[in-house]
Amino acid sequence: MVAAAKLRRAQNAILAARPYARRMYATLAEIGRREGGAEHPLLQPHVQRDTLELVVITSDRGLCGAFNGNAIKRAAAYLAEQRGAYRQFDVAVVGRKAEEHFRRHRRPVAAWTGLGTVDYRQAVAIADHISKRYLAGESDGAVIVYNEFVSAIHQRPTVLQLLPFSPDAELAAAGGVPPYEMEPDAASLLNALVPNALEFTIYAALLENQAGEYAARMTAMESATRNTDELISSLTLQFNRARQAAITRELVEIVSGAEALH
């Protein structure tokens, strides 16, 4: 019941964020279309592809079925797919379950745990970490792995490229930015918009993952409650049968004894 109540709030947060994302990506796409020479360091791919940073998002707590396991498996599968493209892989984790898993296999370069309810400042901290490493040449790309909320019974493990940053084409097409004048210039707009868009992309992933966690926990607890009720019913039936058999046996013994005395 608690997870169901939190799920409704998480869904409302996702729906409220989507119009902002559409308009932001559409603005970036329009700047790129009109000002072909405008560039930003976070938009430019590195010539060398040595190190890829993987940001894996899970929950801090369990009791949500295969929710966390699916995200970790998707991250491991993606690392295997990119084995020939990069020489080194660094992992940053969000959530205690991811930290516990990767601490046994590889040391995370960064970890954020105990976050609770998603806050935009959390996305700012994660974006600041990966963008600093990308600009310093410590990584040549960054992707994020999270569970996308599809429905209350379906959460899809998703891999999304963060750096070099590329606006979502579908959301950009749906943004519908009208003609406008740019001041002071395209480069200044990109310097303000690109870091903000990166932060918001991470924030949206955190919201999706949080909604998926609540949905998975609600489904898992509902299934556990149903299984418990079925088990109680089965054990109660077995107990009543055993008690009835014992009573019947005692009656047979009493009647047999009476017949023997007679």
CA distances from 177 to 72, 192, 204, 229 (A): 38, 17, 21, 55
CA distance 262 to 87: 95
CA distances from 3 to 60, 175, 204 (A): 14, 32, 20
Query: How many residues in total does the chain contain?
Result: 262
Select from 182, 201, 247, 148 the least CA-distant residue to 21.
201
CA distance 149 to 201: 15
Select from 1, 33, 81, 69 the least CA-distant residue to 177.
33
Residues with a known catalytic role: 64
Q: Which two tokens stand for residue 198?
A: 């990166």
Task: Report the b/e string of 44-73 with b at 16+ CB within 10 A.
Answer: eeeeeeebbbbbbbbbbeeebbebbebbbe
CA distance 152 to 53: 30
